[in-house]
Structure 1
Amino acid sequence: MGEIMFLAHRIPFPPDRGDKIRSHHVLKGLARLAPVHVASFADDEQDYRFESDLAALAKSYRLVDRRKPLPLAGIEALASARPLSLTAFHDRRLQRYVREVLSRHPVDVIYVFSGQMAQYVPAGFRGRVVADLVDVDSAKFAAYAAKSTGFRAWMERREGRLMRAVEARIVGSSDVTLLISEAEVRLLRSRLSDTAASASKICAMGNGIDSAGFDPVRVSPEPRMLEKRAPRLIFTGQMDYAPNVEAVTRAMDRIMPLVRKFCPDATLHVVGRNPPPSLQARSGRDGIEVWGRVEDIRPWLSAADIALVPLELARGVQNKVLEAMAMQLPVVLSPEAATGIDACDGRDFLVAGSDADLADAVISLVRDPKREKRVASAARDWIVAHAGWDTALAKLPDYLGFGGRSLSDAA
């Protein structure tokens, strides 16, 4: 067994957002199996605070700032007939680093995390390629386009069409293609030709959760949130991500007014980095609190009474749901947010589709504190039993071609 090259579109530290949580734990798993060389981007100066963590885990690494402005990446994409997703993450510094590592080290496997990074796999590489697409980006852009208008809708349709072709090429050139759930596997196969879909190895590798770290017994509630009126509902996530903004807007405009008819003191707490001005302007009114970026999400979850996750567009497995369940918080969520989580509706969480049904589910928990406690306890029990990272990554050695190895043996 040789060494591994890990290509990630964001530094896998800290594990504080969906993609970085997955890449963080995958990287740790890879490092337990073989020496790993990491090529990755930093989004901002805060990311460089964690460079020492990356250095401690990797045999070598190259971390570069993603400094290309989005308008410039868009112009390059239009001029080159390439997807914006690729031009935005194209960097000659990373290209050089990958070439140098492959020329000097016995790299047998390249692990591609996210489709944007497949462009760094050299055409002549003779080792094994594992492409972790996480979810089907082309379908996501098509869904965005359906909800947009004008030039933005045209660009998103274009991105979806071009990324569909990119995904087909990635599948064709990879030994294994991974997605986050069986639903995403089926979706990707449906978007490939019959020949490609049947000839390719496409597998689901789900997300996990650190149930020991996300343990309510170990966490003190955030005092600033405890000062607000109860019941306290919470939504967490990257708040410059369009589906999260859409979900929170839905909660503010359509769900919370129904909840507050029954519970006038109910408050909604939006916790996550980079909330847009449209959300910030709502903070402090009608029971809404927008907190922005926090260092640790766990105290905020600990201070909440119910997690509300009314996503209308969701791909893969929602880490925000797993985290809330691990923190023994009852979760009310849409069917889209429940995708890929094989917990039991009505026991481990409450799934509802319409605004009225989501509000009714919240109200049912408030009315019945004993039921609220039962759902919260069942959520935590399900996470501990089914959602650990060792379980999620159990087949990782096989995907890498490291037959006969296991992460537990390598620990």
Structure 2
Amino acid sequence: MNKPPLLFLCHRIPFPPNKGDKIRSFNILQMLNKHYDVYLGCFIDDPYDEQYVDELKKHCHQLFYRNQNKLLAKLKGMTAFLTGKPITLPYYYDQEMAKWCQEVAERHAIQKVFVYSSSMAQYCETAQFNQCQRVIDFVDVDSDKWRQYAENKSGLAKFIFQREFKTLARYEDKVCQQFDASLFVSPDEAKLFRSRQQVNAQAKVQGILNGVDIGFFNPSASLAPENKVPDGPFISFTGAMDYWANVDAVLWFAENVWPIVKKNIPSLSFVIAGGNPTNQIKSLATQPDVIVTGRVEDIRPYITQAACIVAPLRIARGIQNKVLEAMSLDKPLVCTSMAMEGINAPHHQYCQVHDEPEAFAKAVIELVNSAQVSATTELVTENRAWIKEHFTWQATLAPLAKLYQIESSEVTSQ
């Protein structure tokens, strides 16, 4: 039996699901592919990911991708200053992508469109898409993220970031008016966005939480040995290390918290595990017992073998997958209130939230000491139970299934 066609547009290849945006987009893709012939259009901004194209083709009816040269994209982005657009629109505009979208829409009489990220909405704003059901997953209120960046900058950078905040906010509001539904990664994000919409658009806005693959992030799963994991006690931060919010978090922790922790536990190491570390992050590895791994094949050993996980984010929107993954693996963690936003897990001994350096450091020290004392016994943290109750993909994607009139029992299960 033929399935109806659906156009799925994504600003980054949604495979492998090894970082925040790709985890969410891939799980949504999996669900929609079960019920539609998905025509997937996306960009590949990291040459490393091109090896996964054939595997991704198994998860859609047709795949069209464009390799994105970041330098060229930045140059295109600068044309926004001549047009009054947000930088992200010309940054992600590609003539071949636009042509493919038009051809797919015409040839297959597309009636359903799913757009992941506001930068891809520009490909389905023409008249022929007006009669389609268009759903956009903004994920985060990106414009507000630029506002946060601007607060921490000065001079030209502050001007550029403030401009992007204002122009992107106007574009986000325009897309919300045009599309049938606007999705966000948490009720908090949805509430923030809804508060600035006209009354006739407010009902279109809803939050759809991220989930966790609780089978993969399972403390009982057997893992292959990982040579880079330190032999002695260590704490970890995990995440893409070319992402500004992660870079800011690690630099803040290294300067304000790590010296206090290290003074109290001299044998401890700090592992920064994630791909594409910036030069600022690489330079931290010159400090004693700070390890910058770069890209790793499997992030789980850096979580399961750590004494605790730290998530000291100060600039954040949405839900942090790094926190969900650590909780699913039943690890103790210390995070800022920004990192816990949208998750709303109850605070207890093994799930602590602090924003001040001294309090953050004290919590880390207590958890590391507790882990060392409990090394020979099972550590029950309650964190995994919270994830299983609230953050499985089957549960979190149920509202999206309802939008597409898919029975909730048919949503991806784990």
Cross-structure match for 1:388: 392
1:161-180 matched pairs, under 5 angstroms: 161-180=166-185
Name the aligned partner's letter for residue 321 of structure 1. Answer: V
The answer as to 2:67 corresponding to 1:76 is no
Q: Does 1:149 align with 2:170?
A: no
Contact 2:397–2:411 (8 Å) recurs in 1: no
Aligned-pair CA distance for 1:19: 0.4
Shift of the 71–13 alpha-carbon distance from structure 1 to 2, 3 Å rule, reads: closer
Q: Using the alignment, how far apart are the partners of 1:191 and 1:235 within structure 2?
A: 34
Aligned to 2:238: 236
In structure 1, which of residues 261, 271, 274 is the aligned counterpart of residue 273 of structure 2?
A: 271
Instruction: Give the secondary structure class of the aligned counterpart of 2:316.
Output: coil
Q: Does 1:255 align with 2:257?
A: yes
Does the aligned pair in 2 maintain the 1:222–1:303 contact within 8 Å? no
Query: What SS is found at the alignment partner of 1:40?
Result: strand
Aligned to 1:368: 370
8 Å contact kept, 1:334–1:353: yes
CA-to-partner distance for each residue in 1:220-246, whole Å, 9 max, x for gaps? 37543443431x110011111111111
Residues 225 and 163 (structure 1), Cα distance of their counterparts in 2 relative to 1, 3 Å cut: same
Measure, in 1, the Cα distance between the counterparts of 2:178 and 2:122: 11
Q: Cα gap change, 1:226/1:131 in structure 2, threshold over 3 Å: closer, same or farther? A: closer
CA deviation after TM superposition for structure 1 residue 295, in Å:
1.4
- Equivalent of residue 17 in structure 1, options 1, 16, 19: 19
Name the structure 2 match of 1:312: 314
Question: Aligned ranges for residues 11-410 of structure 1 at < 5 Å?
Answer: 11-67=13-69, 69-124=72-127, 125=129, 126-193=131-198, 195-198=199-202, 200-220=203-223, 222-230=225-233, 232-346=234-348, 349-369=351-371, 377-400=381-404, 402=405, 405-406=407-408, 408=410
Asked if structure 2 preserves the Cα contact closer than 8 Å seen for 1:348 and 1:375, the reply is no
Going from structure 1 to structure 2, the CA distance change for 1:163 and 1:260 (only over 3 Å counts) comes to same
Distance 1:127-1:74 versus aligned 2 partners, 3 A rule: closer
SS at match of 1:214: coil
Deviation at 1:47, TM superposition (A): 1.6
Contact 2:115 2:137 in 1 (8 A): yes
Cα distance in 1 for residues equivalent to 2:182 and 2:55: 28
Structure 2 contact 74–91 (Cα < 8 Å) conserved = no
Kept in 2, the 8 Å contact 1:33–1:407? The answer is no
| Deviation of 1:122 (Å) | 3.6
How many matched pairs?
406
SS of the residue corresponding to residue 377 of structure 1 reads: coil
Say whether the 8 Å CA contact 2:190–2:206 is kept in structure 1: yes
Q: In the superposition, relative to structure 1, how do residues 36 and 70 fare at CA in structure 2: closer, same or farther (>3 Å)?
A: closer
SS at match of 2:122: helix
Separation of aligned partners in 1, 2:226 and 2:108: 51
Query: What TM-score results when the alignment is normalised by the length of structure 2?
Result: 0.93
In structure 1, distance between residues paired with 2:241 and 2:307: 21
> In the aligned structure 2, how far is the partner of 1:375 from the partner of 1:136?
37
Say if 2:236 and 2:273, in contact at 8 Å, map to a contact too: yes
1:132 Cα deviation from its structure 2 partner: 0.4
In structure 2, C-alpha distance between the alignment counterparts of 1:157 and 1:281, rounded to whole Å:
29
Q: Any gaps of 5 or more consecutive residues in structure 2? A: none
8 A contact 1:348–1:382 mirrored in 2: no
Check whether the contact 2:185–2:207 (CA below 8 A) recurs between aligned residues.
Answer: yes
Q: Deviations over 1:286-338 (max 9, x none)?
A: 32111111111112222211100110011100001111111221111000000
Percent identity reads 33
**Judging changes above 3 Å, is the alpha-carbon distance between structure 1 residues 97 and 166 closer, same or farther for their aligned structure 2 residues?**
same
Distance 1:28 1:348 in 2: 33
Q: String of CA shifts for 1:100-127, please: whole Å, max 9, x gaps.
A: 1111113221001000000011422111
1:335-355, Cα deviation, whole Å (9 max, x unpaired): 000011132111561111211
Letter in 2 for 1:207: N
Structure-2 change in CA distance of 1:216 and 1:153 (3 Å): same
Alpha-carbon shift at residue 16 of structure 1 (Å): 0.8
Deviations, residues 155-175 of structure 1 (Å, cap 9, x unaligned): 111110000101101110111
